[in-house]
């Protein structure tokens, strides 16, 4: 499914173009100052099909002098504000606009409504119509053709029924090509027209009232008889480029009578020179005298009614604000504009004399299947630009990570621009929302130069209603029984296994189409293989509403093997991956055939990272092909994919805790992801990483809707713990690819309990991996198979093993990879740390608190300008905490504002050099509550106060009743300000003093002297 955006595009010939017959009105000629009932027939709208659910109208009006929608009701997707249509049954819906159109839309005085504009959508927004328009007429004299539609095509001498409606008139006159053929009194005219003259004809209706008259014009076309002629040898389906000025178009269209090609080269009008010739079930036409390198937009006009793009086109032109118009020029420069007002629906683009792409990947060899480290990537959500060009710019990052294959989520044309891509429409055209054809090719070429294979996520279980293959044979909301490629209904009745329209993989035509699609992308775009979506659906076996179709299905296996064999005929090294998720007996047979199978281990790994282990629910041994009892590594296991909740999100939301150890804390959750990767990438066999999993992406899959846009967090690299996770992941990927032991078939996973172990034995090296996924300390035997020296991979430290079954104590989250041969430990950069943070000093106004801490850097880097900050709060729980403005030094002098508060100090350690300069901010404990007292000393029952301190210009003094006189001196004792006469309250202007520390000395009436420091800012 996909997320849709508001559609704002205007068809200047809205009701006269084909495809609008799904809308009718009562009355037939609605006026703006009257009520109108709009009736919608969903069976005639391919984007909805035989819809039976709730429908809502995103609706506004077009007013004279404006092209965009006005007075739109509510906002897109707001079911509370937008009008709901009444379901009348059998796919018929009604929308009553009362008391009149002007009132319903709050049209202001002086505005003239010319059209009502609508997009009808399902309640969840997953399905919607094209833009629909209803013409509005002025009160008084009006005339309109109810039938035929403009551009209607008939054969010679075919009876054409004409119906004309008028209001405010006395008579209606009907003319054919300028000659009157009927004239009646009244408000409705019906007539039958016949002609043997081929070509374009005009019907004109004139309504008269006295001397006043108004008219409406439509055209109809009389076609020539179809020419039957064999198509030239060598032509294939679609666009065949003959030379720089000539193309031959071929369309497979059984059961169709006649087809015209309309487009830029004939002004979008039916012309008998562009009628396609017929060769059995194929129609074909050669078009000459084209301008080299010029782009032409065109369509097939089938049986005079249906307009489709070429199903094999490699570029489409899509109307509406939500598609081509929404693509920035930076993503697709100079995109040809859709011919608005001349046609409807998606069109295809041809261009002769294209410059071939210059490939430089002829020496590329794809990685072996068992060594694959696949990175699943969604172009829209990977970079801010959301285009394939910018993804290409990230290849350094992915190469450093150790990725040797990139699996792109579907990028052939899908419906809309904002989608996961599992709603395909055209199978031979890359989606323009991500870039040009050459942008994709440059990306793949660059991947190959770096040793990275490219896999294409391909959806052949179904396609959606924009597909011309659906639209060619479609009626009553579903494909017709004679559709060569589709089942009328999905054989899966389970509601969660139905998407779009279901391909009939038993059909030889579907098989030919599938083989053409796969061959095309391998040949034209050099893709190295495919991940096929929901291959369990490649079956015509009926499955009931409670079945996921997981039982063994011999026909399904036969069809999938057939498709795979055809791929390998074209590229014997092609990587084929199925999202099959069926019975293990099926997956075993497919794996034995050389196919790789997706293996979802998300749940078990996430239970482990969160720290929940009851009843073995964190046992991720199923991530191994041996867990399925296979005889070779055909399983691509993954902890995350586009379809699963993110591990880090659940860690932070639902993680377990014990005392001070809390999985919900970011640094702890990330550390547990390190451990999970150590127990994931090391399991022999191919593996897959979901994008940004290597940085601990923690945004829920349901953010902005399941398939909606997600925030892009390249800034995660600035967090040292996230950066460390990336480096650990890269080190493990390198280890997996370079060390033969991680291709061993002699291994076991012991993962039922919280303390887990992997044992790998290989002639080159033995490996033991142990980890504590609990939230409390525990002990586990590594089960070494030999005594002697073992080596900790990450630290390089030696471990002397005297007994093979000795228990090793592990703290929560602690893990180790021990190898029997010494390896070069990876250079994992670690951010500096601040430890032992504490505060000393007298907790009292005007006294100084001093913070201390221990700086530590594992990389032996010196301390740079670490970042300090003091905070005050209402209590030791941090209630209403605030950062103290300007308190960014190690020392802090308490002020009156701190009275009754508690304080803490935080330091962010900063190294002098290196990649990870900034460490994690560490805080002290809170101080005791600052007592409410005088600014200097307690003097009997009186409170002598000075404030603020530090002070800028004016110093306030209070309770001076026992003070005889006072002065301010510098630190050398020189008196600078002397006050000999005091009052109870005084304010002293210190603007004449320089910044620095001074003494204020009070001489008391009892002969005592009290002095205190003040700071002048």
Q: pLDDT for 320-352, tens place per residue?
A: 767 899 999 999 999 999 999 899 999 999 999
Range of weakest confidence among 264-278, 490-504, 676-690: 490-504
What is the rounded distance in angstroms from the CA atom of residue 301 to the CA atom of residue 271?
Answer: 11
Cβ count within 10 A of residue 937: 12
Phi, psi of 565 (to 5 degrees): -60, -40
Q: Mapping DSSP to helix (H, G, I), strand (E, B) and coil, where does residue 891 land?
A: strand
Contacts of 947 (CB under 8 A, 6+ apart): 895, 896, 935, 955, 956, 958
pLDDT given for residue 1009 in this prediction: 75
> Would you list the DSSP string of 797-839?
-EEEESSTT-EEEE-TT-EEEEESS--PPP------EEEEEEE
pLDDT given for residue 75 in this prediction: 85
Contacts of 569 (CB under 8 A, 6+ apart): none
Model confidence over 934-969: pLDDT tens digits?
434 444 334 678 888 888 889 988 888 888 899 998
pLDDT given for residue 48 in this prediction: 66
Q: Find the mean pLDDT for residues 238-248.
A: 98
pLDDT given for residue 934 in this prediction: 43
Closest CA to 679 of 631, 608, 626: 608
Q: Find the mean pLDDT for residues 712-724.
A: 93
Share of the chain above pLDDT 70, in %: 96
Q: List C-alpha distances in Å: 251 to 238, 259, 430, 735, 777.
A: 6, 9, 20, 52, 69
**Sign, CA torsion 275/278/281/287:** negative
pLDDT for residue 117 is more than 50: yes
Q: What is the DSSP letter of 495?
A: G
Model confidence over 547-605: pLDDT tens digits?
888 889 999 999 999 999 999 999 999 999 999 989 999 999 999 999 999 999 999 99
pLDDT given for residue 49 in this prediction: 62
pLDDT given for residue 252 in this prediction: 98
Instruction: Write b or e for each residue in 404-430: b if 16 or more Cβ atoms lie within 10 A of its Cβ, otherwise e.
Output: bbbbbbbbbbbbbbbbbbbbbbbbbbb
List of E strands, 288-439: 295-302, 306-308, 316-317, 347-351, 373-377, 405-408
Closest CA to 511 of 563, 435, 474: 563
What is the rounded distance in angstroms from the CA atom of residue 618 to the CA atom of residue 1003?
Answer: 75
Angle between helices 720-738 and 666-678 (to 10 degrees): 0
User: What is the CA 257 to chain-centroid distance, rounded?
Assistant: 43
Q: Find the mean pLDDT for residues 657-682.
A: 96
CB 372 within 8 Å of CB 423: no
pLDDT given for residue 76 in this prediction: 79
CB 243 within 8 Å of CB 352: yes
Q: Mapping DSSP to helix (H, G, I), strand (E, B) and coil, where does residue 522 land?
A: helix
Share of the chain above pLDDT 90, in %: 78
Question: Mean pLDDT for the chain?
Answer: 92
CA angle 710–712–713, rounded 5-degree value: 130
């Amino acid at each position: 499914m996909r997320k849709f955006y508001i559609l704002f595009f205007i068809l200047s010939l809205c009701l006269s173009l084909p495809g609008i017959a799904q809308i009718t009105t009562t009355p037939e000629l609605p006026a703006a100052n009257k009520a109108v009932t709009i009736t919608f027939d969903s069976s005639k709208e391919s984007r909805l099909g035989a819809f039976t659910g709730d429908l809502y109208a995103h609706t506004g009006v077009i007013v004279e002098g404006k092209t965009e929608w006005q007075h739109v009701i509510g906002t897109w997707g707001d079911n509370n504000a937008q009008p709901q249509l009444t379901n009348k049954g059998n796919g018929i819906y009604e929308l009553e606009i009362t008391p009149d159109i002007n009132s319903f839309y709050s049209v202001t005085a002086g505005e003239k409504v010319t059209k009502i504009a609508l997009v009808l959508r399902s309640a969840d927004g997953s399905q919607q119509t094209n833009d629909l328009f209803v013409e509005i007429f002025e009160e008084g004299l009006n005339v309109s053709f109810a039938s035929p539609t403009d551009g209607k095509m008939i054969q010679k001498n075919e009876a054409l029924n004409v119906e004309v409606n008028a209001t405010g008139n006395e008579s209606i006159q009907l003319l054919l090509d300028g000659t009157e053929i009927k004239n009646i009194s009244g408000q409705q005219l019906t007539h039958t027209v016949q002609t043997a003259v081929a070509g374009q004809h005009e019907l004109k209706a004139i309504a008269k009232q006295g001397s006043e008259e108004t008219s409406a014009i439509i055209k109809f076309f009389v076609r020539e008889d179809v020419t039957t002629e064999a198509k030239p040898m060598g032509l294939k389906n679609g666009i065949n480029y003959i030379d720089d000025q000539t193309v031959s178009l071929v369309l497979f269209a059984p059961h169709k009578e006649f087809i015209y090609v309309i487009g830029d080269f004939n002004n979008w009008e039916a012309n008998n020179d562009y009628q396609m010739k017929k060769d059995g079930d194929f129609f074909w036409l050669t078009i000459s005298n084209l301008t080299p390198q010029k782009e032409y937009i065109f369509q097939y006009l089938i049986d005079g009614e249906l307009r489709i793009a070429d199903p094999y086109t490699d570029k489409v032109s899509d109307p509406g604000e939500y598609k081509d118009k929404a693509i920035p020029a930076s993503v697709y420069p100079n995109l040809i504009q859709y011919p608005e007002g001349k046609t409807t629906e998606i069109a295809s683009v041809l261009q002769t004399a294209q410059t071939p792409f210059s490939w430089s990947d002829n020496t590329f060899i794809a990685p072996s299947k068992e060594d694959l480290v696949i990175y699943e990537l969604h172009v829209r959500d990977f970079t801010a630009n959301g285009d394939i060009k910018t993804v290409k710019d990230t290849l350094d990052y992915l190469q450093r990570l150790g990725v040797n294959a990139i699996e792109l989520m579907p990028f052939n044309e899908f419906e809309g621009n904002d989608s996961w891509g599992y709603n395909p429409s055209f199978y031979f055209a890359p989606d323009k929302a991500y870039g040009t054809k050459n942008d994709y090719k440059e990306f793949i070429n660059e991947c190959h130069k770096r040793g990275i294979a490219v896999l294409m996520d391909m959806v052949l279980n179904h396609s959606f209603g924009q597909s011309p293959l659906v639209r060619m044979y479609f009626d009553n909301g579903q494909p017709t029984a004679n559709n060569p490629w589709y089942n009328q209904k999905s054989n899966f009745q389970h509601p969660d296994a139905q998407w779009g329209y279901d391909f009939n993989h038993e059909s030889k035509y579907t098989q030919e189409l599938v083989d053409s699609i796969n061959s095309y992308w391998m040949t034209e775009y050099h893709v190295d293989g495919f991940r096929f979506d929901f291959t369990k659906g490649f079956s015509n076996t009926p499955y009931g509403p409670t079945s996921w179709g997981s039982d063994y299905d011999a026909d399904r296996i036969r069809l999938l093997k057939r498709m795979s064999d055809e791929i390998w005929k074209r590229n014997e090294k092609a990587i084929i991956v199925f999202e099959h998720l069926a019975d293990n007996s099926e997956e075993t047979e497919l794996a034995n055939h050389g196919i790789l199978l997706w293996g979802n281990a998300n749940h078990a790994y996430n239970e482990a990272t969160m720290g929940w282990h009851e009843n073995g629910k964190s046992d991720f041994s199923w991530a191994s092909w041996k867990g399925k009892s296979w005889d070779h590594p055909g399983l691509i296991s993954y902890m995350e994919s586009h379809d699963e909740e993110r591990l880090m999100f659940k860690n932070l939301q639902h993680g377990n805790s014990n005392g001070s150890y809390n999985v919900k804390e970011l640094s702890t959750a990330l550390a547990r992801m390190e451990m999970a990767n150590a127990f994931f990438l090391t399991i022999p066999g191919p593996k897959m990483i979901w994008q940004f999993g290597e940085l601990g992406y923690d945004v829920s899959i349901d953010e902005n809707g399941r398939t909606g846009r997600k925030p892009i967090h390249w800034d995660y690299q600035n967090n040292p713990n996230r950066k460390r996770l990336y480096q650990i992941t890269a080190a493990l990927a390198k280890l997996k690819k370079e060390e033969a032991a991680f291709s061993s078939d002699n291994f076991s996973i012991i993962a039922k309990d919280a303390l887990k172990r992997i044992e790998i034995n290989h002639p080159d090296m033995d490996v033991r991996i142990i980890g504590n996924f609990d939230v409390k300390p525990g002990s586990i035997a590594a089960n070494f198979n030999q005594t002697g020296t073992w080596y900790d991979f990450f630290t390089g430290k030696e471990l002397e093993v005297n007994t093979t079954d000795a228990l090793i104590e592990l703290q929560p989250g602690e893990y180790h990879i021990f190898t029997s041969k010494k390896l070069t430990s990876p250079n994992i950069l670690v951010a500096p740390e601040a430890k032992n943070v504490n505060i000393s000093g007298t907790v009292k106004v005007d006294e100084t608190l001093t913070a201390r801490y221990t700086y530590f850097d594992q990389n032996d880097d010196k301390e740079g300008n670490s970042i300090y900050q003091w905070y005050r709060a209402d209590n030791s729980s941090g209630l209403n905490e605030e950062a103290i403005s300007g308190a960014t030094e190690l020392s802090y002098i308490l002020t009156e504002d701190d009275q009754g508060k508690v304080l803490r100090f935080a330091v962010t350690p900063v190294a002098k050099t290196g990649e990870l300069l900034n460490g994690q901010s560490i805080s002290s404990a809170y101080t005791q509550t600052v007592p409410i007292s005088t600014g200097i000393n307690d003097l009997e029952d009186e409170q002598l106060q000075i404030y603020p301190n530090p002070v800028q210009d004016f110093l306030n003094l209070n309770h001076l009743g026992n003070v005889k006189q006072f002065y301010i001196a510098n630190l050398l004792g020189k008196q600078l300000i002397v006050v000999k006469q005091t009052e109870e309250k005084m304010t002293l202007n210190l603007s004449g003093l320089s910044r620095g520390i001074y003494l204020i000395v009070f001489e008391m009436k009892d002969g005592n002297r009290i002095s205190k420091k003040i700071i002048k800012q």
